[in-house]
Structure formats: C-alpha cells, structure tokens
Amino acid sequence: MLTTMFRIALQLSLALFLVVPTITAGQAPAAKRPDAPQLAPYVPTPQEVVERMLTLAGVSKSDVVFDLGCGDGRIPITAAKKYGARGVGVDIDPQRIAEANANAKAAGVEHLVTFKLQDAMTTDVSGASVVTLYLLSASNLKLRPILTRQLKPDSRIVAHSFGMGDWTPEKADSFTDAEGRARMLFLYRADGQVRQ
Ligand SMILES: C[S@@+](CC[C@H](N)C(=O)[O-])C[C@H]1O[C@@H](n2cnc3c(N)ncnc32)[C@H](O)[C@@H]1O
C-alpha cells in the first residue's frame, strides 16, 4: 500500500516537474529563424529613399507591394499608408517580423499589410504587382529567374543599390540622400520573358 502511494506521489511530482516549466516558460514559443540562405544583412533603407523607391515604381492604391527581405516593414507600410496599397513583407529574422507587425499596427495599416517569417527564395510572388529589393547583387541574381517567371507582365521591380546583372533597367535613379550618401535605384518591368 505504502509502495503504491509512494509510486503515485513520485509520478505526480515527475509530471509536475516536466509540465510546469513548459507552462511558465512562455505563452507562445519564440519563432525560429528558418533554414534559409542569408541574402543580405539587415540595413534599413532610409525613409526618404523608401519614398523615392515607391515613386519610381509608380505605386498606387491598386498595387500589391512585396518586399523580399522586409526588415522592419517600412516599405510595405509606407506604400499602405501613403497610397493605400496592399503589401506583403517576408524576412528570415523573427525579430524583424515582430517589429514589422508592431510598426504596421502603430501606422494603422494592419488591414493592408502582412508580414511572414519566410525565405524570399521560396516566396510565391505571383500576387505582386511591385517587388522591392534591398539585397546583395548575387542575391538579386538568384531571385531574377524566380521573379521573371512568376511576375505578371507589367509588374515592376525596384532594387535599391544593387541591380539585376545584365538586365538593363527601364530607369535608374541616382541621387545623394539627406545624409550626403550616394544612392542608386533601379526600375525593371516584367515582360513575360524569363531571365536566368
Ligand atoms: C538590407 S536589409 C533590407 C530591409 C528592408 N527591405 C529595407 O529596405 O529597409 C535585408 C533584409 O533581408 C533579410 N534576409 C536575408 N536573407 C533573407 C532570406 N533568405 N529571405 C528573406 N529575408 C532575408 C535580412 O534579415 C534583412 O532584414
């Protein structure tokens, strides 16, 4: 009898030992960084350059703006706030996605933008009419066949600082920002031709 009671007590304390830390450790488990290639380090685009990228793309209310490697979400959020455009941002850093969601809420555009913890290389961009990039040249080149295959003709790509290899941009915008730094933006237009 005593042995049975002892066994039950032991099982109960073991169960508590295993379950309690799980409950108290945190309400939601922290999101994990997906196993994905690092396409660029986090360097946010200054706000004035964001605005210029959206102007170069000719963003309007009817657009869906995807930012691949969205950081704190400033590009889709600005497109939503300024033009009423819808937006999607993907990033592999959970901290960035948390910031983007908080920034969308603060800007009152949560209903227009979505942020996902996702690899840009496996993101379906077929729903985008504008794609923005601030990634390294080699990363833009990795994305080029994916973007040119999936984007509908007339969709625009605006790349900050780094272009898309030997694909000649429709327009390039070169200027010096408020902090005296040289900036270069490139505008490409999908035309149905897949570019490897
Ligand atoms: C230079 S920052 C640009 C941030 C934002 N687009 C902007 O212009 O302010 C590049 C971002 O790409 C993200 N990134 C790097 N590799 C990625 C990948 N494979 N998929 C999605 N995001 C990625 C980084 O975490 C970083 O936030």
> pLDDT by residue (tens digit) across 18-66?
333 333 344 555 677 889 999 999 999 999 999 999 999 999 999 999 9
Select from 67, 71, 69 the least CA-distant residue to 86. Answer: 67
Q: Which atom of ligand 1 is nearest to the CA of 74?
A: 9
103 lines ligand 1 (CB under 6 A): no
Cβ proximity of 50 and 75 under 8 Å:
yes
d(CA 56, CA 48): 12
67 lines ligand 1 (CB under 6 A): yes
Residue range 102-111: mean pLDDT, rounded: 98
Rounded to 5, what percent of the chain is helix, strand, coil? Answer: 40, 20, 40
73 lines ligand 1 (CB under 6 A): no
Report the residue among 54, 70, 121 best suited for mutation to probe ligand 1: largest number of ligand atoms under 8 A from its CB: 70
Report the residue among 32, 52, 130, 134 best suited for mutation to probe ligand 1: largest number of ligand atoms under 8 A from its CB: 134
- Whole-model pTM above 0.85? yes
Q: Which of 16-25, 94-103, 153-162 has the lowest mean pLDDT?
A: 16-25
CATH number corresponding to 47-189: 3.40.50.150
- Domain map of the chain by residue range? 47-189
pLDDT, tens only, 173-193: 999 999 999 999 999 999 999
151 lines ligand 1 (CB under 6 A): no
Give, in degrees to the nearest 5, the angle at Cα 67 between 179 and 53.
40
